[in-house]
Structure 1
Amino acid sequence: MSLILASQSGSRKAMLEAAGVPFEAVPAAIDERALEAQLGGATAAQTALELARAKALAVSTQRPGRLVLGSDSLVSVAGRRFDKPQGREDAADHLRFFSGQVMELYSAAALARDGAVLWDHGALARLKLRELSDRFITAYLGHEWPAVSGCVGVFRIEARGVQLFESIEGDHFTVLGMPLLAVLGALREHGELAA
């Protein structure tokens, strides 16, 4: 019986595949923006964790007995939370705002079975962006759009997105969108992977 990943995220799928974790991807049908609105003044870290939990729970109720992994990432820059860009011009606006600042990227994961959360974990990475010129932003989006359209923070660190940053503090997998080492430990604890 394999794990269910409650996501269609290419990055999360690639991480699990590379780590040799068998899984089936089943996207969670939840309204993320509505859940965020219900959480009101929750921090980005709390919101990412609640979204990961909600995704895992939503799919676990549909697949009895199966272990379900939910995950989410949120970005905060200068106290302002950012979601995935709504279009290419929105992505350019995000990058202009991010220029020269520190991005806090919160990645969270949760495991659920039969409508109950069994485990959850959140992690933080801090990414210092260099000063980005409009010329660079235009060229960058010319290469990376639409691949980054579904990426909070408008970057793929494993691609040209690495050019946005001066320095990165935090776990590489957290930057990719899921605290993978913690997830693997939890999967071993729950018998999904050999110890």
Structure 2
Amino acid sequence: MSRIILASASPRRRELLQQIGLRFEIMPSHKEEVMRGQTPSENVMGLAEDKARDIFETLPEGMRKDVLVIGADTVVSLDGKILGKPKDEEDALSMLRFLQGNMHQVYTGVCLVTAESTQVFYEKTDVTMYEASDEELEVYIRSGEPMDKAGSYGIQGLGTILVREIHGDYNNVVGLPVSAIWQRLTKNEITRKFVIDNKE
């Protein structure tokens, strides 16, 4: 029986993958994140591949032929500047000030690794923020929500109040473009069997 492994501890990615009805295991990658390219798309694809390969290569060789590992990485970008997760509350406030009133891009890179194939791709979504006062931003930061989010906000949580509009895949902003993943898995002869074997 084939297995699907999600190389991420993110509860949001877990929920999104469950949403499309797949059975999977969670084995978070703890590989150090090192910038992998000059552009946001190159960076997220490189990091997603690092995470997926990190988990795939820890598996015993005899198990690898029946395993699909999904790695992902998300960043926010504005005016060429890449924003990851904030280091502290001051960093979160600086990021949110930078984003307010502007349209930025959310990039999520995805890597699908099996013994026979590797698919690496990214999705991009445009997000426009409302103007917000420092007081409003500080209240939001005190909720704790921004501290583990790229760009210091969670569109699926309290951070939705900061978002004016989006163009593109909403789930990509949450952290995993599951529609694109489904399309890639089901349209590739090698990975289709993993969907069939692991559909709930």
TM over 0.5: yes
How many Å separate the matches in 2 of 1:13 and 1:5? Answer: 8
Q: In proportion to residue count, which structure has more helix?
A: 2
How many Å separate the matches in 2 of 1:154 and 1:56? Answer: 24
Runs of 5+ unmatched residues, structure 1: none
Matching residue of 1:29: 30
Of 180, 183, 187, the residue aligned with 1:182 is 180
SS in 2 for 1:61: helix
Matching residue of 2:88: 87
Matching residue of 1:125: 125
SS in 2 for 1:193: helix
**2:39 maps to 1:43:** yes
One-letter identity of the residue aligned with 1:60: F
Checking the alignment, whether the CA contact within 8 Å between 1:187 and 1:193 is kept in structure 2 is yes
The alignment of Structure 1 onto Structure 2 pairs a total of residues equal to: 187
Deviations 1:49-69 (A, max 9, x none): 111111111111112231100
After superposing on structure 2, the runs of 4+ consecutive aligned residues of structure 1 that deviate more than 3 Å are none
Matching residue of 1:192: 194
Matching residue of 2:150: 152
SS in 2 for 1:111: strand
**2:16 maps to 1:15:** yes
**2:49 maps to 1:53:** yes
Of 155, 166, 169, the residue aligned with 1:168 is 166
Runs of 5+ unmatched residues, structure 2: none
Shift of 1:108: 1.4
Shift of 1:2: 2.4
Deviations 1:110-153 (A, max 9, x none): 11124x7521221100111111101110111223x1x3311101
Deviations 1:13-62 (A, max 9, x none): 01012222111111113111xx30xx35x200111011111111111111
Deviations 1:136-178 (A, max 9, x none): 10111223x1x33111011111111111111111111111111
How many Å separate the matches in 1 of 2:137 and 2:90? Answer: 11
Shift of 1:187: 2.7
One-letter identity of the residue aligned with 2:98: F
Checking the alignment, whether the CA contact within 8 Å between 1:78 and 1:101 is kept in structure 2 is no
SS in 1 for 2:150: coil
Question: RMSD value over aligned CA atoms?
Answer: 1.7
- TM-score under structure 1 length normalisation: 0.89
Matching residue of 1:76: 77
Of the two structures, which has the highest relative contact order with CA contacts closer than 8 Å and spacing of 6 or more? 2
